[in-house]
Structure 1
């Protein structure tokens, strides 16, 4: 403990483990500590007995649910885009050699009381029952424009400077109706609200391209992949990576108090009477509660089922996005479902999460539209947790604090936070120019 480090990382949540691994690969001397005796923090995975204990205290799960050890229930379940930023981070760091991925079966969107496969290309637009005949043709033209668009090819821009025109202006050029805009913005571009409509269109177009490119990478019905045995494998993979590059890990370290000098700059962390010195501290919000603010709450239902989600073509793994406008809400509702296909439940059992930003104190009512899509459930838990964001000036105090995990069931917002923190810590952009064939090699479905 009484050594000096470049960085001390507190908490073994996914964001902290990714940063610890990346910083170790960069040659920094890293000490990684956690007050818990397990990896994962708020993004840990639980077996069935642990899940029951966490949410219901001393109650015991029914024997009909199967063996506890066959469950790996992620507390912040999120799928990753096959061609997305997180996969690039995994490859850049070399963590893919510790993991096996499998494609996710389905990606769906809720519209007018029903769920539909998300169309992401001109061909899928023509086949989709989500739109009428004339709207299909308009959507097809829009998707062709997106697919053909290249930054360095002015001919593909069709006279539009996407860095200046808004998404609303581009959409109006193609005459798309509100329902189509809804699924494009929320289920394809994965925006969490409608503010994107009045921002430069380039961001939305690039997000849709990533979705379509991810869909093309694997022969599945969605653009998403997910690790076998769940996300609990990811923090441990980055921990192994950090250790290979000289990082030091210490679990079950009580208190972990950050020490500050007279100028308010962090210079070390004390635990059990010993102080490890450092230049910078990286942590989740729970370690520096005075330097974060509460920005919201996430409501979620955890459901155990004995069947796939109805109307998803018997998909063993699926994401469904219920756009906010369809529900008269300010926030989208997300459905995540996984099963034995990814080794997270016994054969014949399915784990579904329904989540959203909480807008009331009644999660049962808020999440009902998503829960209603699941059909009968064997058991259901309701849970609400607070969401925090940092309010400190890291240049003044040398502290780099991650944001809490949001309600989304994909990694796009999570990895943006990681990339942003990496730049603040190191002063440089994270190099994400990687060979994506490494992800294919790590996937069973490549």
Structure 2
């Protein structure tokens, strides 16, 4: 403990573990501590099932009908990986994929007028979809072709729209797309949580739809991947990466004090000893006086003995309920996984509903999603505060991550990681640079 480190990391949530791994690859001396005895922090996977019951203060043990307790690995914060997204790039470039095995999520669905429809994201699916009428199908197909051909550096592909000033509303108007098509395009393909994007420059939305289509093209069933044995495997994979590059890990370490001098972090005190550092990364729970609450998320974990109706008996899927369909400001997300992913007993399913809290009756807000899952064998309800740092951390050199939002993908988490990296180093996150440092390290260890 009584040593000098470049970076100390507190908490083993996914954001913290990825940054710890990246800093270690970048040649920094890293000490990583967690007050918990397990990896993952807020984003842990809980096993056995009895521990989940205890965590939510449910009396008694899980019934025998739930199968073996050790067969369950239940994520507290459910998310999928976009097959062509930033987190997969981080996993591939750092070789963390060697510790993990992934399965493709079988389907992506959207909710419209109290029914579930498969999200059409290719030209042929658009023409076959029962989500739209014949003329809307053709117009939507034209939008998909426009997005696929779109090249920021080639004005011919912009078809008269300036991508920096034209809004996504202008794009929808150009193709004469109605409210329902706008809903599933913006929320199920571009994965926006609210409708604020409609009045923003269209370039980001176009890139998001491209990401969805490219991710879908990789495996065909859906654009999403999920690791066997749960998301708790991800932080552990990056922890191994950090250890390979010299990072030191300590679980079960009580954090007594973050030591400051002249408004700047100089170390962390644990069990009477001080480890000194130049920079500190932590999740909000370690520095509550330096974060502000920006909302709440409700998550309901539901254990089922059946797949979700009208999903072609998929053993895994995502369903997005766009806010306009249920008179809300924020979307509701459902993601479901099963024994096929080694997270539930044979024949069992885990469905998780999440959304931003908007009223004093959070459970009432997610009723449309819970109705889709009936009958539910057991449910676990959590309402979490969302925090973000009050400053950039450049003066104190304390860099605090954001709480995990209600979305069912990791793109927002990766944006936070890249943002913290830039604030810490003054440089943009560069996948190529990480690859070069990794190759240099491999060359040295082979000599």
8 A contact 2:297–2:386 mirrored in 1: yes
8 A contact 1:79–1:411 mirrored in 2: yes
SS in 2 for 1:396: coil
8 A contact 1:363–1:382 mirrored in 2: no
| Unmatched segments (≥5 aa) in structure 2 | 436-447
Of the structure 1 ranges 10-19 and 248-257, higher mean CA displacement relative to structure 2 is found in 248-257
1:368 aligns with 2:363: no
Report the equivalent of 2:11.
Answer: 11
How far off is 1:428 after superposition?
1.4
Report the equivalent of 2:79.
Answer: 78
CA distance in 2 between partners of 1:425 and 1:269 (Å): 18
How far off is 1:364 after superposition?
2.2
* Off by >4 Å, runs of 4+ in structure 1: none
TM-score normalized with structure 2 length = 0.95
What pairs up with 1:154-303 in 2 under 5 angstroms? 154-219=155-220, 221-261=221-261, 263-303=262-302
Which digits, 9 at most, give the CA deviation of each residue in 1:281-300, with x for residues without a partner? Answer: 00000000000011111112
CA distance in 1 between partners of 2:224 and 2:347 (Å): 22
How far off is 1:57 after superposition?
4.8
Name the CA shift for 1:284/1:256 in 2 (closer, same or farther; >3 Å).
Answer: farther
Report the equivalent of 1:443.
Answer: none
8 A contact 2:392–2:423 mirrored in 1: no
Of the structure 1 ranges 421-430 and 398-407, higher mean CA displacement relative to structure 2 is found in 421-430
How far off is 1:56 after superposition?
1.9
How far off is 1:430 after superposition?
1.5
How far off is 1:415 after superposition?
1.4
8 A contact 1:35–1:256 mirrored in 2: no
CA distance in 1 between partners of 2:363 and 2:202 (Å): 36
CA distance in 1 between partners of 2:19 and 2:134 (Å): 48
Which digits, 9 at most, give the CA deviation of each residue in 1:25-63, with x for residues without a partner? Answer: 111111000001110100000021110000025532111
CA distance in 1 between partners of 2:208 and 2:85 (Å): 9
CA distance in 1 between partners of 2:222 and 2:39 (Å): 29
Report the equivalent of 1:62.
Answer: 63
Report the equivalent of 1:88.
Answer: 89
Name the CA shift for 1:57/1:259 in 2 (closer, same or farther; >3 Å).
Answer: farther
Which digits, 9 at most, give the CA deviation of each residue in 1:107-140, with x for residues without a partner? Answer: 0011111111111122211111100111111101
8 A contact 1:7–1:282 mirrored in 2: yes
SS in 2 for 1:364: helix
CA distance in 1 between partners of 2:52 and 2:114 (Å): 32
| Unmatched segments (≥5 aa) in structure 1 | 436-446
CA distance in 1 between partners of 2:321 and 2:155 (Å): 36
How far off is 1:227 after superposition?
0.5
1:127 aligns with 2:131: no
CA distance in 2 between partners of 1:403 and 1:324 (Å): 23
8 A contact 1:260–1:266 mirrored in 2: yes
Which digits, 9 at most, give the CA deviation of each residue in 1:382-424, with x for residues without a partner? Answer: 2211111110241111110001111111112111111111111
CA distance in 2 between partners of 1:368 and 1:121 (Å): 31
SS in 1 for 2:422: helix
Which digits, 9 at most, give the CA deviation of each residue in 1:301-337, with x for residues without a partner? Answer: 1110111011001110111000111110111110010
SS in 1 for 2:336: strand
Report the equivalent of 1:422.
Answer: 421
Which digits, 9 at most, give the CA deviation of each residue in 1:134-166, with x for residues without a partner? Answer: 111110111100011122333222122212211
Report the equivalent of 1:328.
Answer: 327
CA distance in 1 between partners of 2:298 and 2:180 (Å): 26
CA distance in 1 between partners of 2:392 and 2:138 (Å): 50
CA RMSD of aligned residues (A): 1.3
Q: How many residues are aligned here?
A: 433
CA distance in 1 between partners of 2:200 and 2:256 (Å): 42
Report the equivalent of 2:23.
Answer: 23
How far off is 1:212 after superposition?
0.3
8 A contact 1:116–1:129 mirrored in 2: yes
Of the structure 1 ranges 8-17 and 123-132, higher mean CA displacement relative to structure 2 is found in 123-132
Of the structure 1 ranges 230-239 and 153-162, higher mean CA displacement relative to structure 2 is found in 153-162
What pairs up with 1:375-386 in 2 under 5 angstroms? 375-386=374-385
Report the equivalent of 2:307.
Answer: 308
Of the structure 1 ranges 244-253 and 408-417, higher mean CA displacement relative to structure 2 is found in 408-417
SS in 1 for 2:431: coil
Report the equivalent of 2:444.
Answer: none
TM-score normalized with structure 1 length = 0.95
How far off is 1:22 after superposition?
0.8
CA distance in 2 between partners of 1:157 and 1:366 (Å): 40
8 A contact 2:303–2:377 mirrored in 1: yes
